[in-house]
Copies of this chain bind each other. A is one copy, B any other.
């Protein structure tokens, strides 16, 4: 069994901790967190510490803390002669005096929402073929979805996630605002939203585009623009309609 010290017990750390309980390849032997309060419950079943000076010797250190302190913390672990990985999507592969790697789970985590980790994509990167192999085994012991992703690719992945998730969620908010204004419960749209997200598994979203823009239905588009009274919503409607049409050769 590989011994892991988990550094950071926030949204990601908590889910990693749970996931490694079922790993046959590695086990967590200690959890560090800056704030003692977050460790209170955990301390009943696990060695915990709030001091980096008290870390145990281990094979792998997983650093899952805020971006702003990740690099300095990785550097502080240089004395351990082990593999040190971080879980941050937007931080490059670092180079300290240890082995280095990235162990980035691409999912949105909430402390209190249960999640099936075996379906979470894990993006791995390492400073040597040997460390990459170790990370692959580590990742495969908790999920079926493991991807080797370079620092450059990870940057693009982070950017595409802004479109696919952050902006998408904002469009849900705008739809909810339109519903609220017209005394419609937003929940009427839930099944349609979820089916739209489900469909990407069966076909490229480019092939399953529907709606007035792709039909080039000028009458409905004009009618919708008339219905929208806010300049902000009109501008978003116009720009996204144009983008759909441009990308489909109108």
Contacts and interface: CB of A to CB of B under 8 A. Distances in A.
A175 to B, nearest CB: 4
B176 A172 contact: no
Contacts of A212: 162, 166
Contact-residue bracket for chain A: 35 or more
A205 B107 contact: no
Nearest to A154: B184
Interface stretch (A20-28, A47-55, A77-85, A185-193): A185-193
A93 interface: no
A184 B156 contact: yes
Given A147-B188, A162-B211, A210-B169, A182 B247 contact: no
Given A166-B244, A168-B168, 8 more contacts: A113-B199, A121-B191, A121-B192, A156-B184, A160-B178, A167-B171, A173-B209, A197-B197
Contact of A108 (B161, B210, B246): B210
A145 B191 CA distance: 10
Contact of A172 (B123, B164, B170, B211): B164
A235 interface: yes
A72 interface: no
A184 B188 CA distance: 34
Contacts of A153: 182-184
A243 B239 contact: no
A184 B149 contact: yes
26 contacts: A106-B188, A108-B195, A113-B202, A123-B188, A147-B185, A156-B178, A157-B179, A161-B189, A163-B171, A164-B175, A165-B193, A165-B196, A165-B211, A166-B212, A167-B211, A167-B236, A169-B205, A170-B205, A172-B200, A173-B206, A173-B209, A174-B243, A176-B206, A186-B200, A193-B197, A236-B239
Interface string A144-156: 0101010011011
Interface in A60-115: 90, 106-108, 113, 115
